[in-house]
Structure 1
Amino acid sequence: MRSLKGAFMTQLLIRLFIRRPNSPQDPRVRAAYGNLASVVGMVCNILLCLGKFVVGTLFGSIAITADALNNLSDASSNIVSLVGFKLAAKAPDAEHPYGHARFEYLAGLVVSVTILGIGFSLLKESVTKALHPTPVQFGWLTVAVLVVSILVKLWMSGFNRAIGRIISSETLIATAADSRNDVLSTAAVLVAAILCRVTGWDVLDGLMGVGVAVFILISGWGLVMDTLSPLLGESPSEDLVEHIEQTVMGYPGVLGVHDLMVHDYGPGHQFASIHVELPAEQDPLEAHDLIDNIERDFMKHDHLMVTIHYDPIVTSDAAVGVLRSRLTEKLRQLDPALSLHDLRIVPGKTHTNVLFDLVLPAGYAGDKVELLTQMEQFIKEQDPTYNCIIKLEQSYTAAAHK
């Protein structure tokens, strides 16, 4: 019942404050979703911070005060996220033709570093309290404030997760996880308050504060890693890679795809390039028209700018087909992550050149020289006149196919 009420409140806020909520791919709608989540989070966290700080001060509980500061850090994070969403929504300009959407990633990084800073501060205070405990006064007001905090944070976790999924925002997904973590840390504070009351061991308050601080530090470090990854250039998601490849393969006449690259300039601002294999016998104008249609369809349906390179494949040469099958099977035996493309057989007077690109997964740890030696030997076994010319390439999506 509680989850139903939470979902109802989320949908109510969306209906009240989001125009065209069914168009999250629109940058303006996306920004509106982000602004809503940030403002709601900021208001809730400030109210929770004030309530806990007053109770923690009145009853002398460092654990409750620490939890209040955790909410304050969350509120500051919401402010940074709000600014990040607004800056990310700026239109492209002459200096930044790919837009400003990476501001959302930068905002997430600032939030993560802020969480780490507050975590270290709380750890210092809590250790001091654990080494030099002071009496903790217990009151039902303490219990009431902490229980309300747990309920509010549970709703905020679901709210941010729902919005994050709608607009595919890693920042809000991380915020949802942070709210869930707050539920656990606040529950720990509540347990500490009760135990101090029951046992009289005031040191438990400081120890629980240490636990909350450590929890914040672990969460903050995880968020730092999550926000750094897209800034450094992480591999595209498996779902996106599969969607692009299957979509292209669904068009008539497409024989295969390779060399997919996805460049991420922030949520909703991704650019991709891919090589599409089409029969060499096909009319070039028809092939070009097909490629134009594919590119337009990606922009229309996915708001994804895809640039396609046309690779003509000779389908009338049986020898190429046979050799491709044998090479593919050989690579599968050596390492299923290996692949090849652009296989050509070029006959000459004294020898026949066999040319192809051998694709290695990112971070390939095998011996490349040994790999080339094995492939050259295998090709020679097929025909002694074959002269092997292999170009090694790195895949930029292989990490998504672990």
Structure 2
Amino acid sequence: MTKLLIKRFIKDYENTQNSDVRTAYGKFSSIVGIVCNAILFISKLIVGTLSASVSITADAVNNLSDASSSIISLLGFKLASRPADEEHPYGHGRYEYLSGLMVAVLIMVIGVELFKSSLDKVLHPSAVEFSWVTVGVLAFSILLKTWMALFNTKTGKMINSNTLIATAADSRNDVITTGAVLVAAILSHFVGFELDGWMGLGVAVFILYSGFGLVKDTLDPMLGKAPEDEQVEEIRQKILSYPGVLGTHDLMVHDYGPGRQFASVHVEMAAEGDAMKNHDVIDNIERDFMNDEGLHMIVHFDPISTKDNTVNDLRIWIGEKVKEIDERLTIHDLRIVYGITHTNVIFDCVVPHNMDMTDKEVKKAINDMVKEKYPTYYCVITIDKSYAAMPH
């Protein structure tokens, strides 16, 4: 059914890399959420009021908040689709992340309110009117919310949208919430023990836990989360496939919203090679990443001496020795400046953020190892931080 609706209402639905198509997916998903949640809110509010059930009424309010979340998502997709301008040259894609964060916060607010109302029902229990109409409404809600969770999960993955993934998680929470309310209503009727408030407390705790995770997931890209290892390795392997490329390092990926990623990377090529040919390869790398992945890539050329055996042997030796300090350490851009009294060995060392040693201690440890074998060598080390785990 999901695919049928997508084909019916979204033009060029397979072209998910297109920003207009992504926006169409987001708008359509939001409208579906608004309509479905409005239906559930009205039906549960009527049933909850007639049966005097705090959990059913709270579930109705939860659906009203879901409708509000869908409106926020709709606004987020609309704002995110705005083109770049002079004040925002990277576009407005992060509006989508902001809308996802607002949805996650709303989920937590609902969890707090449900916890308060459920606690009050536990402390001051009152009878809940049971009817099979109530069971029917709640069962219908479970089925509809299950479909909505599957619908938003599928569309969210198709366009890589944290907002829709958060909405799908919210629908999944609603399935659990309404299921718990339904179980409580049936057990309370047949067992004779009032479970309405207790079940509400359990559901509220689950919603709060889920909401906290969603807040973290939507905050990560806005705070500058490191790219996934799979993406880093794909970028690395693609760069290494070009002729003349000897290695790559210093990858940085900046996320300005889904489909709006910018990256920079250093590429090592032979210093003795033809400058124009090397430049042409770099141009091809940048253009291909833009055409194939939609990734705005800036490539910095690092010339590597390939005919000086002393430099090559020393690069390999130091590269292996630094791993005795920490397996995650790597070096690059090594060159040698010979002198009368001493020789400078100049290179960069990539250090992870959670390294136990200070930058000064790392430099000293490497320098001491090199001096032990080469007493006249002095290391001039620039410490780099690892913005993406890219071995080379």
TM-score greater than 0.5 by the shorter chain: yes
Distance 1:218 1:96 in 2: 35
Counterpart in the other structure of 2:344: 353
Distance 2:36 2:293 in 1: 34
1:279 to 2:270 alignment: yes
1:155 to 2:170 alignment: no
Aligned length: 391
Counterpart in the other structure of 1:117: 109
Query: More deviation in 142-151 or 248-257?
Result: 142-151
Distance 1:73 1:329 in 2: 57
Q: Give the conservation status (yes or no) of the 8 Å contact 2:262–2:295.
A: yes
Secondary structure of 1:99 counterpart: coil
- The two structures, once aligned, show a CA RMSD in angstroms of 1.4
1:205 to 2:196 alignment: yes
Match for 1:232: what amino acid?
A: L
Distance 1:368 1:96 in 2: 36
Q: CA deviation at 1:60?
A: 1.2
Q: CA deviation at 1:365?
A: 3.0
CA-to-aligned-CA distance 1:6-61 (integer Å, 9 cap, x gap):
xxx11001101111112111100110111111111221111112221111111111
Distance 1:306 1:382 in 2: 40
Match for 1:200: what amino acid?
A: G
TM-score by length of 2: 0.96
Counterpart in the other structure of 1:6: none
Q: Give the conservation status (yes or no) of the 8 Å contact 1:109–1:227.
A: yes
Q: CA deviation at 1:368?
A: 3.4
Q: Give the conservation status (yes or no) of the 8 Å contact 1:60–1:137.
A: yes
Query: More deviation in 368-377 or 313-322?
Result: 368-377
Q: Give the conservation status (yes or no) of the 8 Å contact 1:67–1:212.
A: no
Identity %, equivalent residues: 56
1:185 to 2:177 alignment: yes
Counterpart in the other structure of 1:253: 244
Match for 1:321: what amino acid?
A: N
CA-to-aligned-CA distance 1:220-253 (integer Å, 9 cap, x gap):
2222111111111111122221221111111111
Q: Give the conservation status (yes or no) of the 8 Å contact 2:104–2:166.
A: no
Match of 1:145 among 137, 148, 151: 137
CA-to-aligned-CA distance 1:138-184 (integer Å, 9 cap, x gap):
11111111111111111111111111111111111122222222211
Q: Give the conservation status (yes or no) of the 8 Å contact 2:245–2:268.
A: yes
Match for 1:183: what amino acid?
A: V
Match of 2:31 among 29, 33, 39: 39
CA-to-aligned-CA distance 1:254-283 (integer Å, 9 cap, x gap):
011111111111111110000010111111
Distance 1:246 1:231 in 2: 27
Match for 1:79: what amino acid?
A: I
Counterpart in the other structure of 2:254: 263
Counterpart in the other structure of 2:219: 228
Match for 1:68: what amino acid?
A: A
Distance 1:42 1:313 in 2: 58
Q: CA deviation at 1:366?
A: 2.9
Query: More deviation in 240-249 or 263-272?
Result: 240-249
Q: Give the conservation status (yes or no) of the 8 Å contact 2:305–2:312.
A: no
Q: CA deviation at 1:379?
A: 0.8
Match of 1:50 among 42, 45, 48: 42
Secondary structure of 1:363 counterpart: coil
Distance 1:336 1:161 in 2: 38
Match of 1:196 among 176, 184, 188: 188
Distance 2:292 2:219 in 1: 29
Distance 1:195 1:333 in 2: 63
Secondary structure of 1:255 counterpart: strand
Q: Give the conservation status (yes or no) of the 8 Å contact 2:53–2:196.
A: yes
Distance 2:18 2:84 in 1: 15
Residues 3-402 of structure 1: pairs in structure 2 closer than 5 A = 9-202=1-194, 204-398=195-389
Q: Give the conservation status (yes or no) of the 8 Å contact 1:84–1:104.
A: yes
Match for 1:72: what amino acid?
A: L
Match for 2:180: what amino acid?
A: A
Structure 1 unaligned spans of 5+: 1-8
Match for 1:83: what amino acid?
A: L
Distance 1:86 1:300 in 2: 25
Q: Give the conservation status (yes or no) of the 8 Å contact 2:103–2:167.
A: no
Distance 1:331 1:42 in 2: 57
Q: Give the conservation status (yes or no) of the 8 Å contact 2:160–2:258.
A: yes
Match for 2:29: what amino acid?
A: A
Distance 2:33 2:373 in 1: 66
Structure 2 unaligned spans of 5+: none
Secondary structure of 1:244 counterpart: helix
Secondary structure of 1:53 counterpart: helix
Distance 2:167 2:321 in 1: 47
